Amino acid sequence: MFLLSVCPVFLVAQQGATEHNIDLRAIVRLPIQLKESSGIVVENPDKFWTHNDAGNTNHLFAVDTSGNIVKALKISNVQNIDWEDLTIDADRNIYINDAGNNDSDREDLAIHIIPDPSQHNDDSIEAQSINFVFEDQTAFPPPNSNRNFDIEAIVWANDTLNLFTKNRSNPFNGFSKMYRLPAQPGNQIARLTDSIYLGSTSAEARVTAAAMNPENSVLALLTANKIVEFRNFSGTNFFSGQSTVFRFNTQPGQIEAIDFVRDNVYYLTTEGSSNQAGFLYEADLSGLTHIEKTKELQQKFSTKINGEVIYLTLDGKETPFEFVQLFSLSGKELRQFNDVQSIHLRGIPSGILIVKANYRGISYSQIVQFLR
């Protein structure tokens, strides 16, 4: 008996997505107290909240665009183990992501919920916490090839937290996984819901932050050398939307945080060094065209199983793909196929597999779980 469960994945085909090269504008150097800025929530165009990276104080800082600290708010009942990224909900509560996990070995992952800090007059506040585990992690740490449990990017949407991994696998496979958590305090399980291939190098594919604009349904993922936007998606199926890549003309340094100021305009921050802080940058994408995907990119890639054969379809129709690869989840290539509508799994062990297929110059991928 053979069972195949499918988790649809609509991947950004880098050769098919719209691309622009952009320059970032340095607004101001951050204050020296923020040498390791690693998350940002924009309160208004003149003020934002940020925090430092692992091992620093357990403070949120409100900073103005002249580089002055307006408020330092101590989160009195939690430590900064590895704070990586912020997000905000419809009630202006801020979520601090303490799930930095470089070696994929942490068993104390948490997200801390802070009531709207702009309405809090004291210098300290207590957080409520979401403590969570990954549904698909059983080893701490896992083998090097499966080290993809470092969360450095989160966004809130529809009472749910969406978490994106910073891939540290070796050999590197270029995928960022997406998990979902209820945005409620207590013990929770992060459910794997999607995955996206962003490139073959760490600069291309390691996600360092994310931002969500709920007003017009835009998700942005940040890596060391680009912003990837997704628009016009259905519900929270972000990766099914139209994708645009904005590649930095000049590397801005160790870029760690991003948030919307308004549609098409972002603030970003970088980490600094031992004796000085990084910068607040602006990325203004106004006037750049968000070209819709081609018809081929809008087609839904899916699979169906019969015995040990996976049939490949676009929009439900069997399609002759020019080139197909089968990978393990760790990124090891298992087989190659040319000019096929189906692939054979004879001799392939049970587990999570990645199917990558090329059709008319467009790349599609999907994760499948093959159980014997």
**What ranges do the domains of the chain cover?**
3-7+296-371, 18-292
Task: Please give the CATH architecture assigned to the domain spanning 18-292.
Answer: 6 Propeller (2.120)
pTM over 0.85: no
Among 170-174, 305-309, 361-365, the least confident range: 361-365
Res. 7: pLDDT tops 60:
no
What lies within 8 Å, CB to CB, of 110 at 6+ separation is: 78, 81, 98, 99, 129, 130, 131, 132
- Greater confidence, 288 or 252? 252
CA distance 362 to 60: 43
One of 3.40.640.10, 2.60.40.10, 3.40.50.970, 2.60.40.3080 is the CATH number of 3-7+296-371, namely 2.60.40.3080
- Greater confidence, 68 or 297? 68
CA distance 349 to 320: 25
Q: Which pLDDT band, with edges at 50, 70 and 90, does 299 fall under?
A: low
- Greater confidence, 289 or 254? 254
Please tell me the predicted confidence (pLDDT) of residue 160.
97
For the chain, the average pLDDT equals 89
What lies within 8 Å, CB to CB, of 87 at 6+ separation is: 41, 94, 95, 97, 154, 155, 156, 161, 210, 212
Q: What's the Cα-to-Cα distance from 280 to each of 65, 84, 159, 211, rounded to whole Å?
A: 8, 17, 29, 16
What lies within 8 Å, CB to CB, of 245 at 6+ separation is: 12, 14, 17, 18, 19, 20, 226, 227, 228, 229
Res. 4: pLDDT tops 80:
no
Please tell me the predicted confidence (pLDDT) of residue 24.
97
- Asked if 151 and 165 touch (Cβ cutoff 8 Å), the reply is yes
Q: Which pLDDT band, with edges at 50, 70 and 90, does 331 fall under?
A: low
Give per-residue pLDDT as tens, 75-127: 999 999 999 999 999 999 999 999 999 999 999 999 999 999 999 999 999 99
Say if strands 186-197 and 128-134 run parallel, antiparallel, or are unpaired. parallel
Asked if 3-7+296-371 and 18-292 have one fold, the answer is: no
Res. 293: pLDDT tops 60:
no
